[in-house]
Amino acid sequence: MAGPISQSSVTLSEPLKNSHFAFAAMTTLFFIWGFITALNDILIPHLKAAFDLNYTQAMLVQFCFFGAYFIISPFAGKLIEKIGYIRGIITGLVTIAIGCGLFYPAAEVEVYAVFLLGLFILASGVTILQVSANPYVAVLGPEKTATSRLSLAQAINSVGHTLGPMFGAALIFAAVGVASEDADIDAKAVQLPYLLLAGVMIATAIGFKFLKLPTIKADETEQDVKSTDSIWSHKALIFGTVAIFFYVGAEVSIGSFLVNYFSQPEIAGLNERQASQMVSYYWGAAMIGRFVGAALTRIISPIYVLAFNSAIAIILLFTTMNTQGDLAMWSVISIGFFNSIMFPTIFTLAIRGLGPLTGRGSGLLCQAIVGGAILPLMQGYVADVTSVQFSFIVPVAAYVYIAWYALFGSKVKSANAAAPAPAAN
């Protein structure tokens, strides 16, 4: 998923040249954070087995990763204001490399907490990268085509999500060479993959250092925000922030459990490498759904598409919770397709009508990505006290709220909507 943007707050500081080349360079960043984020779905079951963790403890991987969005986002914005977007990108890439590099000593000393520290640092770099790259893509061309450019960049992000689990399955579980029930799983299997990622991040950072890319700066002409107006008075934004929290939480939570779920004899009985490869279908379905959804929302109101997709996700979750075998496996994989349009649709509905408050609203929505830290932890607890299959009741509750937001919450007027407009000077 790509973080929100506020196009009105940034502009090109020089005439745009080689925009296609600059856009191509930016899409590599979208691919990188999609790839790394999806790799967590492979890392979780591996560390669970290596350290003999319960599900709640294993979900601390997502807690540390997505918790960084909530903590680091405000600081990342201030950092970009001081050092600029290109240097911000380089800083983000180097930070990711440091986080990946920590996996080597973490595996040597076999301390789970060091892995979690590495993940937090890695995710901090991803956060800086998103805060830098999203507005950059938005201004690489005419304003009327900004949404189209960002949609294409998000599609590349989905390609990274799809290939990440394949990479993990090929290098992590191939190195282990055992099924999930084998207790002798070595944490050192993650050393090579994450060292490779660290090397790629450093090489990419060096590449961006020498690329001749346009620079952008904050828009100093943006209208001042009236002191009487506040983002907290816009109920559709507040409800939308909760919807983003639940959407990211549900999407990440489902993906986090797939390997362990598909390994269960009554579901698919796959070993961890086979199950990891199946996770790519979940994210691949989201990639396909983004292209389909982009066309569909041109002819059908996004509100109804969002409500419909939420309802289908709920039906598919209840199906997987009450069946076995291929039906249970493919029903939960199919949810990826219906997740596809949720983030951009919720985001668009939430910031509608904010005007000069759009930047602040975007920041609030970005922090709501912390749902990816909380809901997996909740589902992990439910899985520990009941079963993995029943634990999917947690994302069911999330999709119920999203359906409500689509049909009702997004239409709520702001608290000061009825107030008379101030007289023009």
3-state secondary structure (DSSP) of residue 184? coil
- Per the model's pLDDT, the better-predicted residue between 263 and 341 turns out to be 263
- pLDDT value for 175: 59
Packing angle of the helix pair 85-101, 60-83 (nearest 10 deg): 150
For residue range 377-389, what is the model confidence (pLDDT) as tens digits? Answer: 999 999 999 999 9
* Cβ neighbours around 407 below 10 Å, total: 14
pLDDT at 332 over 60: yes
Q: Burial letters for 130-168: b for 16+ Cβ neighbours within 10 Å, e otherwise?
A: bbbbbbbbbbbbeeeebeebbebbbbbbbbbbbbbbbbb
Q: Do 97 and 205 meet the contact criterion of CB atoms below 8 Å apart?
A: yes
- Give the N- to C-terminal CA distance of the chain in Å, as an integer: 43
For residue range 103-118, what is the model confidence (pLDDT) as tens digits? Answer: 999 999 999 999 999 9
pLDDT at 146 over 70: no
Displacement of CA 93 from its chain's centroid (Å): 17
Lowest-confidence range among 2-11, 64-73, 256-265? 2-11
- pLDDT value for 178: 46
- Per the model's pLDDT, the better-predicted residue between 211 and 194 turns out to be 194
- pLDDT value for 221: 39
- Per the model's pLDDT, the better-predicted residue between 77 and 7 turns out to be 77
Determine the Cα–Cα distance for residues 129 and 134; give it in Å rounded to an integer: 8
For residue range 272-317, what is the model confidence (pLDDT) as tens digits? Answer: 888 988 999 999 998 898 888 877 887 888 899 999 999 999 999 9
pLDDT, mean of residues 240-262: 95
- pLDDT value for 18: 60
- pLDDT value for 25: 87
For residue range 204-224, what is the model confidence (pLDDT) as tens digits? Answer: 999 999 887 776 655 543 445
- pLDDT value for 176: 57
* Cβ neighbours around 230 below 10 Å, total: 14
- pLDDT value for 317: 98
Average pLDDT over the chain, rounded to whole?
84
DSSP 356-415: GGHHHHHHHHHHGGGHHHHHHHHHHHHHHHS-TTGGGHHHHHHHHHHHHHHHTGGGPPPT
DSSP lists the bridge partners of residue 11 as: 217
pLDDT, mean of residues 399-403: 98
pLDDT, mean of residues 256-270: 94
- pLDDT value for 309: 96
